[in-house]
Amino acid sequence: AQKVTQAQTEISVVEKEDVTLDCVYETRDTTYYLFWYKQPPSGELVFLIRRNSFDEQNEISGRYSWNFQKSTSSFNFTITASQVVDSAVYFCALSEPQTGANNLFFGTGTRLTVIP
C-alpha cells in the first residue's frame, strides 16, 4: 500500500536560514509520481513540483531545490535563504499511475514558520 511520511510536524527557522523538509514514501509500483504542494493560510494548495520515478535528477528552481533518492525512498525539499513568505504548510504527495488512478496520496504536512 502507498504511504507518505513527513516526520517533521513543525519547523521554525530565522529568516535567511536554509531549511530542509523531509519526505519518505512507500509504494509497490515501479512507476510513480512525487509532488510537493504549499498550503498558505488561505488554504489553497499551490503546486511546486512533480517528479516521476524514472528521473532522479535533482532540481533547482530559484531558492527551492529537491533531492530525489530512490535508494532511500526520499524526496526532500530545501528552501535556501528562507523568507517570511515561505511560512506555510508543505505537503509531499504520491501518485501511482499503474493502478490507472491519478489521485494523490498526501503526507500529513510540515508547518514551516520563518521568523523575521
Partner 1 sequence: DAGVTQSPTHLIKTRGQQVTLRCSPKSGHDTVSWYQQALGQGPQFIFQYYEEEERQRGNFPDRFSGHQFPNYSSELNVNALLLGDSALYLCASIPGRGRYEQYFGPGTRLTVT
Binding site for partner 1 (CB under 8 A): 4, 33, 37, 42-47, 50, 91, 93, 95, 97, 101-109
- Give dist(CA 68, CA 36) in Å, integer: 12
Beta bridge partners of 108: none
How far is CA 7 from each of CA 4, 24, 56, 57, 107, rounded to the nearest angstrom? 10, 8, 22, 24, 9
Shortest reach from residue 100's CB to partner 1, in Å: 8
Shortest reach from residue 23's CB to partner 1, in Å: 11
The b/e string for 4-31 (b: 16+ C-beta within 10 A; e otherwise) is: bebebeebebeeeeebebbbbbebeeee
Nearer to partner 1, 39 or 80 (CB): 39
- Give dist(CA 49, CA 68) in Å, integer: 12
Shortest reach from residue 33's CB to partner 1, in Å: 5
Shortest reach from residue 16's CB to partner 1, in Å: 28
Nearer to partner 1, 1 or 116 (CB): 1
